Amino acid sequence: MPKVSTMEKHIKDQWDANAIAFAILIGGQGTPHHRMILNPCIDSLMGNVEGKRLLDAGCGEGYLSRYYAEKGADVVGVDISSQLIEICKEKARNNQEFHVGDICDLKLFRDTSFDLILCNLVLLNVPCLFKALEEFQRVLRNTGHLVFSIVHPAFDFYGPGTWEMGEKDSETNRRIGLFFKIDNYFDERPYERYWRSRDGRKFPRAISFFHRTISTYINAILNAGFQIQDFREPTPITDDAFFERERRIPFFAVFKVGK
């Protein structure tokens, strides 16, 4: 996949068109998969944020910005979508500021201006992985760290894989996963998929995704001058039958890196 230095306009247009649907889906606190799998992992890797200047890179509707502001961080949220930033500002509390900006060109910020960076489920939706990591390295202080999450590339049903499904479970209202099948893992390419609302309606616009291998992410981290401090494939923190599939294979991959 070629290196790209800036965000493409159609990606901004996608997120502007989907902003309201996305905010409703997130519901101010994340989906069940966020709350029961991803967020606890991120929180443990972020560590103590009190008094720290934190960049929420690709902040979406801002629920994690609000969460970390409540924990005492001075949070700066950046997103390519002006519509999402308006939603962030409407919900903002103390210790928060929000800007429309491109995480692949963080010209809004000086070198070494953040103690912590969070980039949650964003890098798989941007064409400029390498440039984004270089920008994170530039604006992060030497003692700080970056935590970023992606949908696990080896088990991404929006990418090269899919579940083979059985009958619907009457208890969970989810179809039973028989097994997960994957092919063409090494075929790194962009693709588009529609997300759906909680009641099954398609989002107004398809969303761009960029399938990359784990080795591509690792090499991009190292080439940007980071060192990997931790890597996790989080599992559900609940034994709820709803997450039966997610206890069998990892849904997310989470990196903590530093200089």
CATH 3.40.50.150 fits 9-151+223-258, yes or no: yes
Rounded mean pLDDT of 125-152?
97
Short-list 44, 90, 36, 82, CA closest to 63? 90
**Model confidence over 193-210: pLDDT tens digits?**
999 998 889 999 999 999
Rounded mean pLDDT of 104-124?
97
pLDDT of residue 94: 87
pLDDT tier at 168, thresholds 50, 70, 90: confident
pLDDT of residue 159: 72
6 has pLDDT over 70:
no
Short-list 83, 84, 130, CA closest to 103? 130
Residue spans of the domains in the chain: they are: 9-151+223-258
Give the pair of three-digit tokens for residue 89: 């500002």
Report the predicted TM-score, pTM, of the whole model to 2 decimal places: 0.93
237 has pLDDT over 70:
yes
